[in-house]
Amino acid sequence: MSKHHKQDNKPTRHHVVPSSRGGSSRLENIAKVRDLDHKKYHALFENKIPEEIVEYLVTQYWKGDWSYVERAYNNHKF
């Protein structure tokens, strides 16, 4: 396994609400993700907060159809 590949699989801390946007470093605002996934997330969504990401997906990809969000929410097991 190459050094680069090992780095991509290394766990890293992701702030759900970015610290630059007022997010805390408390555990409820931290997700542990692979480094590569973290990089991809920010490449796609930059520094958006979760609500902005959902709105972006609805307006840019789903042509304003919020039913995708509703279905996902209703099918999610909390």
Residue 3's pLDDT is 64
Q: What is the pTM of this model?
A: 0.73
Distance in angstroms (rounded) separating the CA atoms of residues 36 and 4: 10
46: left (phi over 0), alpha (psi -120 to 50) or beta: left
Percentage of the chain exceeding pLDDT 70: 91
User: What is the domain partition of the chain in residue ranges?
Assistant: 1-47, 50-78
Question: Average per-residue pLDDT in the chain?
Answer: 90
Q: Summarize pLDDT for 2-39 with one digit per residue, the tens.
A: 566 677 889 999 999 999 999 999 999 999 999 999 99
